[in-house]
Amino acid sequence: MKTYRQELTFHTKTHRAYVNITPQVETALAESGIREGLCLVNAKNITASVFINDNESGLHRDFERWLEKLAPEKPYDQYDHNGYEDNADAHLKRTVMGREVVVAVTDGKLDFGTWEQIFYGEFDGMRDKRVLVKIIGE
């Protein structure tokens, strides 16, 4: 069995962002040379997510509005976590949107369902964040 590991780094210009990282994951898969196996992609920071959904900008605005209703960023003093840092909402948003995805690798390609793409969800951005890509198989 072969294994491949790569870290991607993100530094978004905005506090929250949704980034389609499918091209980077496909590049990693090509570099791995793995044809059959599993590809794990996970956020390495607890205020960011990796999730799979549709690459449609309206949906991304819907995510933003929905998450702000569930866990509004402000007022900061509504959260026990805030004080030293004011990112409680980002931790909650990350929990809802998930830590990682696993995609089957078939014939050297990510075996997606229709319209599926991999996204990095940033909820406390404008600083360096990391995503792990781990691929196993043969």
Q: Is the dihedral of CA 81, 84, 88, 89 positive or negative?
A: positive
**Which of the 8 DSSP states describes residue 46?**
T
- For Zn ion, the nearest residue by Cβ is 87
C-beta of 20: minimal distance to Zn ion in Å? 26
Sequence letter at residue 49:
S
Binding mask 57-96 for Zn ion (x = CB under 5 A): ----------------------------x-x---------
Whichever of 34 and 90 has its CB closer to Zn ion, that residue is 90
C-beta of 11: minimal distance to Zn ion in Å? 18
- Whether 118 and 21 have beta carbons less than 8 Å apart is answered as yes
C-beta of 82: minimal distance to Zn ion in Å? 8
C-beta of 97: minimal distance to Zn ion in Å? 16
Phi/psi-derived region of residue 10, left when phi > 0, alpha when psi is between -120 and 50, beta in every other case: beta
- Binding to Zn ion (CB under 5 A): which residues in 100-119? none
Task: Say how far apart CA 16 and CA 5 lie, in whole Å.
Answer: 26
Binding site for Zn ion (CB under 5 A): 85, 87
